[in-house]
Amino acid sequence: MLQAAPAAAAKALEALTPPPDLSWRDWAAAAHADYEANQEAPRVVPLDLAVVMKTVQRLAPADTVYTNGAGNYSGWLHRYVRYHGLQHDGRTQLAPTSGAMGYGLPAAVAAALLHPERTVVNVAGDGDFLMTGQELATASGYGAGSGAGRLVSLVVDNGSYGTIRMHQERDYPGRVSGSELFNPDFAALARAYGWRASRVDRTEDFEPAFAQALTAGAPTLIHLKLDVEISTTRSTLTAIRRAASAAGPRP
C-alpha cells in the first residue's frame, strides 16, 4: 500500500529503472493461453450459442453496449464476447454485477435512449424476458433503436428457468418442480409492440437475421430456440443429473 497522491506516486515510479525481465512473464503467457483455449467449445446442434455470440461481436460495432439479466444463458455472453476495456470504447457492459432477473431489457432501452448513436444488444433468457418484456412498449414509444445506433434483443428460449432446473438436477436428480415455462411466440409478441422480429432455430440462420437487425432502422427482437438440455456453456442437464446420481444422496 502506498500512502501518496497519484501524482506524487507517478513521479516516484517514473524515476525507477525498469527490470530487465518480468518474473511473471511465463505465468501471464500461460494465463493468456488458457483464456484463448476457453474461447473454443464443442459444436452444439441445431443452435450453437457460442457461435451466436461470436457472430454478434464480429458484426456489431466495437462500441456496442451489451446488457443481460440473471440466468445460465448469460454465461455464453460473458464467455465468448470479449471485453475490450474502458480505455477503448467506454462502458460497454451493463449487468454483470447486478444479478437481477429482468434487468437486461430495460437497461438496454435506457442505454439506447441515452446513447442513440451506439448499438445496444440485450441478451435475455425466456424467464428473464417475461419479467420485464413489456418494456418493448417503452422502446417503441420513445423511439429507442431508431437512430444511428441499433437496439437488438436476443431472447434465448429453452422453455425453462434454466438455472433453477440446473440446481434441481444437481441437488435432487430427476426431481423437477415448477421450473418449466409455457412461453408465447416471442417474435409475434415483439411485433405486437411495434418491433421487427424473427425466430432462429439453427446456427446458420442467425448471422443473416442479426445482420438484418443491424440495418433495420427499428428495434429488433430475435427469438432463439434452444433445447432445454443445453444447460450451461460447459455441461448438459443429462451430465449434471448423472454426476449427481453417481455422487449419491446429499446429507
The whole-chain average pLDDT of the chain stands at 94
Confidence of residue 6 (pLDDT cuts 50, 70, 90): confident
pLDDT of 147: 84
Owner of C-alpha cell 529503472:
17
Q: For 46-247, which CATH superfamily applies?
A: Thiamin diphosphate (ThDP)-binding fold, Pyr/PP domains (3.40.50.970)
The DSSP 8-state label assigned to residue 127 in this structure reads H
In degrees to the nearest 10, what's the CA dihedral of 141, 142, 144, 149?
Answer: 140
Across 65-71, average pLDDT:
95
Residue 13 pLDDT:
87
Confidence of residue 95 (pLDDT cuts 50, 70, 90): confident
On the question of pLDDT at 85 being above 80, the answer is: no
- Asked if pLDDT for residue 93 goes beyond 90, the answer is no
Measuring CA to CA, which residue among 190, 191, 201, 215 is closest to residue 105?
190
Residue 29 has pLDDT above 90, yes or no: yes
In 3D, which of 155, 158, 145 has the Cα closest to residue 213? 145
Instruction: Fill in the amino acid letter for 36.
Output: E
Please state, for a pLDDT cut of 90, what percent of the chain lies above it.
79
Kindly tell me if the per-residue pLDDT of 189 is higher than 70: yes
The helix or strand, by DSSP H or E, that contains position 35, with its residue range, turns out to be helix 25-38
Identify the DSSP state of 200: E
- Quote the crossing angle between the two packed helices 162-171 and 237-247, to the nearest 10°: 20
Give me the DSSP letters along 52-107: HHHHHHHHS-TT-EEEE-SSTTHHHHHHHSPP--HHHHS--EESTTT--TT-HHHH
Across the range 191-195, mean pLDDT stands at: 98
Instruction: Quote the cell numbers at residue 211.
Output: 445482420
Evaluate if residue 98 carries a pLDDT over 80.
Answer: no
| Residue 97 clears pLDDT 80, i.e. is over it | no
**pLDDT of 251:** 66
Q: Please indicate whether residue 85 or residue 107 has the higher confidence score (pLDDT).
A: 107
List the Cα angle 52/58/59 in 5-degree steps.
Answer: 90
Residue 208 clears pLDDT 70, i.e. is over it = yes
Q: Which pLDDT does position 135 carry in this prediction?
A: 98
CA angle 138, 126, 102 (to 5 degrees): 50
In the chain, the percentage of residues whose pLDDT exceeds 70 is: 99
